[in-house]
Chains A and B, each alone.
Chain A
Amino acid sequence: MNPFYVVAFLSIFFAILVISAKNPVHSILYLILTFFTFTIHYILLNAQFLAVVNFIVYMGAILVLFLYTLMLINLNEDSEPAKSNFVKIAAVIGGGCFLVTIVASIKALGQSNPVLMKNPDLGLVKNLGKVLFNEYLLPFEIASILLLSAMVGAVLLATKDKDPKAA
């Protein structure tokens, strides 16, 4: 049994639990598990750099941010009234339409080639660093500006409503 299918099953299982868990804290914990299975996918694809970045940035930074925001927000579980059944069915059908389209087009496509490792050290830090700092140097620098503006925006938004009271 190929490990891909086991990990893929776990990914789908935890992803479903993320959107079906009643308590938002449980959702976040399941999301951490989902991202962990994605890290395993990256390792299986020998994309070591992305595996490490996914582990540190997503599981380390982003989900801690989610958890802290949830702690800032006083959550009581009955604060989220369930949507009506009609809306739920419509949502599942709406999401399923995309899936059906993709599956049907894949079926029409027929058997595809297996994912072969053409270049074994493709996803290694050395190789990706060379590509990143030669071909994609400008986008890399722009990404730093994006992060800076996001930081400024987050600080500005999160501290905003103290100013009117002070003024």
Chain B
Amino acid sequence: MESLTNTMLGVPLNHYILLSAIIFSIGVMGVLLRRNAIVIFMSIELMLNSVNLLLTAFSVYRGDAAGQVFVFFIMALAAAEVAVGLAIIVMVYRNTNSVDINVLNRLKW
């Protein structure tokens, strides 16, 4: 493991920021592009994961374990969010027979 991680020494921090920004923007585009509520949810997961990766990279860069603890909390939060969100999507599907988010534009209040 030590020799494997030693090969990582050459990667500048900027490249991690760039990778995370690209994945995050792909997630944003997915939210804006798609109409299927489940795919929108997956795009949100993509965004959460890109932030997780960036937090880990910063944590290793600074030698501070707090970043990785935060990633752990974000993962717990994502699990809770997915459970509730998918339950809502299932309920919406039962009521409207569709997971198209445009059906939901009658939600006014």
Contact = CB atoms under 8 A, between A and B. Distances in A.
Decide whether A and B assemble into one complex.
yes
A18 B42 contact: yes
Contacts of B1: 46, 48
B66 to A, nearest CB: 7
5 contacts: A19-B34, A46-B5, A83-B33, A95-B32, A127-B65
Given A28-B42, A46-B5, A49-B68, 6 more contacts: A19-B39, A48-B1, A73-B90, A114-B10, A115-B57, A132-B69
Given A91-B33, A122-B63, A157-B84, A102 B18 contact: yes
B77 interface: yes
Contact of A116 (B61, B68, B86): B61
Contacts of A27: 38-39, 42
Contact of B65 (A41, A87, A115, A128): A128
B42 A53 contact: no
Contacts of A90: 32
Interface in A38-86: 38, 41-50, 53-54, 57-58, 61-62, 65-66, 69-70, 72-73, 79-81, 83
Contacts of A119: 63
Given A24-B38, A69-B89, A157-B91, A12 B66 contact: no
B87 to A, nearest CB: 4
A161 B6 CA distance: 56
Q: Would you call the interface of chain B mostly helix, strand, loop, or mixed?
A: helix
Interface of B: 1-2, 4-19, 21-30, 32-36, 38-39, 41-43, 45-46, 49, 52-53, 56-57, 59-63, 65-66, 68-69, 71-73, 75-84, 86-91, 93-95, 98-100
A90 B79 CA distance: 31
B21 to A, nearest CB: 4
Contacts of A41: 53, 56
A118 B76 contact: no
A114 B12 contact: yes
A153 B88 CA distance: 10
**What are the 3 closest A-B residue pairs judged by CB atoms, nearest first?**
A118-B63, A91-B32, A150-B80
B77 A146 contact: yes
Nearest to A25: B38
A47 B64 CA distance: 12
